[in-house]
Structure 1
Amino acid sequence: MSTVIQLQSLKSVAATGSVRSAAQHLGLSPSAVSHHLKLLEQDMGLTLFQRHGRGLCLTETGSALMGEVDGVLESSSRLQQRVMDLKDSRVDRLSIGYFSTAGNRWMPELVLFLEHRFPHMAVQLNLDEGAWHEDRSDIQIIITETKDPAFPPEINSSFLLEDPYVVAVPADHELATRKEVSLAEIESYSWIDNDKGEGPCRTILFDACARAGVQVHFKHEAHTFVAALHMVSRGLGITLLPRLGIDQLPEGVAIIPLAAPEPIRYVHALSDLGHPQQSVINDAITALRELASDEAVALA
């Protein structure tokens, strides 16, 4: 029988592509994570991972199971949270789902705001790169490919930010002093991948390249913005990423805006209409809009 911690190890390795990174995220040793994967494969009689370069990626079988794994972990999280609420007699709780770059830039300030505004409110942050789901979080920050997507009528949506993509190049690169470049101009250089899977960020980039008649060829794969930027600083190539994805720019890297048709991702905050803590949610989304507005000024 698979345990929750084993499934957490499975999900974390699937997300990071690395046993070591998953172990750091979970606060476990790499050997413990490896043992969890071994037990899962033995228990299920299935091969869940295969080698990909120096890392691991899901097999087709492993990918087919991830939806069910997510469901089990979400149910377990809700159960644990309910038990904690009953133990501590806490009913004032707000859950916020966010994608990773929004977490780095906005979540600390948002939680600080809520701490001062609602001192008895407990905030639960959920890293969630997926689409809106009413059972996941009270507020969910999502990425869309268009500015005005059609959301279901029972969802309250608030537009937060246009997040244009930029290209990161070594500081001594021949393009480093340019005010902007087109996708066509950078097609011939060595590109470094910084994303994983087929989420909206990758779709937005690939669609813009298709409109520009540019074929995407990655020489190196990093699968995180931070790793890709550090590879750029070593002169290993260039990488394209949303401006919001740059938390701290490594030394030796220059950022250049992209000319039209530049990729742009759009950020929205979603919530369920009629939520019992609607006033808290409204204040939290107002704070998010202010954070996004400050970010937009910084990106300009």
Structure 2
Amino acid sequence: MDWDKLRIFHAVADAGSLTHAGDILHLSQSAVSRQVRALEESLNTTLFHRHARGLILTEQGELLFDATKSMNKRLESASARIRDSKEEVFGELRVTTTTGFGTLWLAPRLPALYEKYPDLNIDLMLEERVLDLPMREADVAIRMKEPSQADLIRKRLMSVRMRLYASQGYLDREGPLDDMEDIGNHRLICQNPNSAQVSAGAQLVQLLLSYDAPKRLNVNNYFGVLQAVRSDLGVGVLPDYVTKDIPGLVRCLPEVESGEVPVFLAYPEELRQSKRIAAFRDFIQEEITAQRRKARDDDD
């Protein structure tokens, strides 16, 4: 099968248009169309349904597109390994993590990473869905549980716990939260226990709701919970890593917290020699060490 025709087919299938694919490939629409027709003839099948609104893959086209996507990811992986054979840290690094950790812990630390490696470009993908690292949906992941995918290098970074926090302004206005029975007198700000989150956080929320908290604000990520707490709206369930960097939060009910949540960094085995991965991994470890040192100094 002609590799060049497959490359052009992949671009058309991905763009959904001959014209857009031609723009990406720097080819005319007619040249792209000829290559697609030639591929269809060589396979003796139709790969696209042609409509006025664009192109739609046939069943056979879907099968071929799945194959070319896999090929494309492998080529990207090989390209990354070739580039990383040099000593310089440069190029794109696709990092995935949760919305809360990415916005509240990682993003504020990226200026220091860019200062150290100005030619590194981070593509930060924040979502609760676990991306497929072996299929190169991302290069490196920071997740709130140990990844179960095969062929990954894993490193435990730290542990976090979910705790209760409020602003001093809110507590001055609404009164203290001295025991669990007082929860009914306060607005609880948390994620819905059925939403995508670590199980330890969901279990803590379920426990708190069992104490009849009629006033609630549900937010689907910890960034939103934090902003609501800082706006004096109520008592929020937040991971402890947030409060180490943000002043003005008061911990409520210190004896109440979730179970331990492990934080793992993971990346594909095939990127073991990647200079970009190593630079990012070492930077994260240095930041965590610095945070622990600061916490010990504050306690002293």
TM-score normalised over the length of structure 2: 0.53
Q: Distance in 1 between matches of 2:217 and 2:229?
A: 12
The 5 A counterparts of 1:145-160 are 149=146, 151-160=148-157
Deviation, structure 1 residue 274:
1.5
* Alignment partners' CA distance in 2, 1:132 and 1:265: 19
1:266 equivalent among 262, 268, 278: 262
Of structures 1 and 2, the larger Rg is shown by 2
Report what 2:278 is aligned to: 282
Q: Deviations over 1:263-287 (max 9, x none)?
A: 4432211111112762321221121
Contact 1:142 1:268 in 2 (8 A): yes
Q: Is the CA contact 1:157–1:269 (under 8 Å) kept in the aligned structure 2?
A: yes
What is the SS of the residue equivalent to 1:130? coil
Secondary structure of 1:136's aligned partner: coil
8 A Cα contact 2:189 2:225, kept in partner: yes
What is aligned with 2:188?
A: 192
Deviations 1:240-296 (A, max 9, x none): 111223487586x52236325634432211111112762321221121112123334
Per-residue CA deviation, residues 64-102 of structure 1 (Å, 9 max, x unaligned), is xxxxxxxxxxx9xx99xx9xx9xxx9x932111122333
Percent same amino acid among aligned pairs?
A: 13
CA RMSD of aligned residues (A): 4.2
Q: 1:272 to 1:129 in 2, by over 3 A?
A: same
Q: 1:245 to 1:222 in 2, by over 3 A?
A: farther
Cα 1:297–1:188 shift into 2, 3 Å: farther
Distance 1:298 1:166, change over 3 A: farther
1:164 is aligned to 161
How many residue pairs get matched?
209
Contact 1:167-1:241 within 8 A present in 2 as well: yes
Q: Please name the residue that 1:121 is paired with.
A: 120
Instruction: Give the TM-score of the pair, scaled to structure 1.
Output: 0.53
The secondary structure found in structure 2 opposite 1:255 is strand
Aligned to 2:31: none
Asked whether the 8 Å contact 2:152–2:269 carries over to 1, the reply is: yes
C-alpha change, 1:216 and 1:244, in structure 2 (3 Å) is: farther
Q: Which amino acid aligns with 1:195?
A: Q
Q: Which secondary structure does the structure 1 equivalent of 2:263 belong to?
A: strand
Tell me the equivalent position of 1:102.
101
SS of the equivalent of 1:258 reads strand
* 1-structure distance, mates of 2:161, 2:195: 19
Structure 1: which 5+ runs fail to align? 5-42, 44-74
Distance in 2 between the 1:268 and 1:242 partners? 15
Which sits farther off after the overlay, 153-162 or 96-105? 96-105
Name stretches of at least 5 consecutive residues in structure 2 with no aligned partner: 1-14, 16-52, 54-68, 84-89
CA contact (8 A) 1:96 1:140 kept: yes
Q: For the residues of structure 2 that align with 1:110 and 1:161, how far apart are their CA atoms?
A: 19
